[in-house]
Each structure stands twice: as C-alpha cells, then as structure tokens.
Amino acid sequence: MNNLSEIKREVLALPLQDRAELAEYLLASLDDLAGQENEALWIEEAERRYQAYLNGAVSARAAADVLLEARERLG
C-alpha cells in the first residue's frame, strides 16, 4: 500500500469503531505539530483553495447564504 487513494479505500472498509479510533489518532497527531508548522500548513491550504477558486474549480458563496441554508436543513 503506497498511495493515498489505496489507504483511503482500505480505511473506509474498516468498521465504524475502528475508523473513529483512527480518526481520533490522526487528529491527535496534528495537535503535536509545532505552531509555526501548523501555520504554514494552513497558509498552504488557503493558497490551494484560493487557486482552485481562481481556476474555476470551486465557486464562492456568501457566508450569510451558507449559514441560512444550514439553519434551514437543521430544522
């Protein structure tokens, strides 16, 4: 197993409890990142999302519209 797609496929085949345990473990591993490293990762992610927006791969919506839709779905 050497690529992310394979790992994702195998992880999704795990029982719910195992997936939850793995998710908790992975999230905890992110807590171990140094503050500077964490900030750099967020900057990289923000840039990736901005480029996707500029390239038309994703669209933008007003936050107010998103929140209104979420409230409507929740009841």
Q: How do the pLDDT tens digits run along the chain, 75 residues long?
A: 569 999 999 999 999 999 999 999 998 887 777 777 888 989 999 999 999 999 999 999 999 999 999 999 998
Model pLDDT, residue 13: 95
User: What six digits make up the tokens of 18?
Assistant: 């195992």
Model pLDDT, residue 31: 76
Model pLDDT, residue 10: 94
Of 69, 75, 19, 35, nearest in space to 61 by CA? 69
Residue partners of 33: CB distance under 8 A and separation at least 6 = 41
Model pLDDT, residue 12: 94
Q: What residue spans define the domains of the chain?
A: 4-74
User: What six digits make up the tokens of 48?
Assistant: 């990736």
CA 42 to chain centre: 11
Phi, psi angles (nearest 5°) of residue 18 = -65, -40
Model pLDDT, residue 22: 95
Query: Whole-prediction pTM value?
Result: 0.45
